[in-house]
Amino acid sequence: MNPIDEAAAVYELAKMQHDRTAEALAEAHSNLVALMPSKEEGAVNMTGESYKVSITYGMNRTVDAAALSAIKDSVPVALFEQAIAYKPSIVLAGLRYLQSNEPGVYAALAQAITARPAKPSVKIEAITQEQLAA
């Protein structure tokens, strides 16, 4: 076997191992998320005997540029600029403000925004015996 074939075989084996590990990690992630409370956005925390687990939920929001262009003139400029940065991209703090305080303006902007759940972020940290005793 020449060096290219040897390297390719090693790569192929490593890729297969990586894929199996990625599948196992994804399953472990799903199982851990399933045991925790969920919410649309924000973090939840639980502590077991050996681990503290934090899961952060979020939404990935995008803007449909054509739809935004069609409704842009119906939103006051100051409020538009508070929620939409012109690239266009979403100014999340401003969008949340509109959602809570300006429902009519938010409803107009929502026609151009697509929101879909983000993959939950998982963080685990080992708890030491000293932390358990405290």
For residue 20, the surrounding DSSP H or E stretch is: helix 3-35
For residue 132, the model assigns a pLDDT of 66
- Pick from 4-13, 18-27, 115-124 the range whose average pLDDT is largest: 18-27
For residue 45, the surrounding DSSP H or E stretch is: strand 42-47
Measured over the CA atoms of residue 94, residue 95, residue 100 and residue 105, the dihedral's sign is positive
User: pTM to 2 decimals?
Assistant: 0.62
Chain center to CA of 72 = 27
Of 126, 122, 125, give the one whose Cα is nearest residue 27.
Answer: 122
Using alpha carbons, list the distances in angstroms from residue 19 to 30, 35, 125: 16, 25, 25
Chain center to CA of 46 = 19
Residue recorded with tokens 């934090």: 54
Average pLDDT over residues 86-113: 93
